[in-house]
Amino acid sequence: MKTLIKNFLNQEEGASLVEYAILAALISVVAIGTIGDLGQKVEKAFGDIKDKFTTD
């Protein structure tokens, strides 16, 4: 049983799949954060434009 576990832990073939999954998850988190921040800035910009038209 020890040998089986040791062989499983020493296999590097599956490691690349795990690394790609972690990389994809990190990219997703960064993209969601960036899109959320960009959305807030765009919303503020359009709000400022709307306020300029309605206050005159």
Mean pLDDT of 9-30: 82
Q: What is the pTM of this model?
A: 0.54
Domain limits, the chain: 24-48
Q: Residue 2's pLDDT is what? A: 79
Assign 3 a pLDDT band (cuts: 50, 70, 90). Answer: confident
Question: What HEC string does the chain produce?
Answer: CHHHHHHHHHCCCCHHHHHHHHHHHHHHHHHHHHHHHHHHHHHHHHHHHHHHHHHC
Any idea of the CA torsion for 39, 43, 48, 53, to the nearest 10 degrees?
140
Please say if the pLDDT value at position 53 is more than 70: yes
Q: Residue 54's pLDDT is what? A: 87
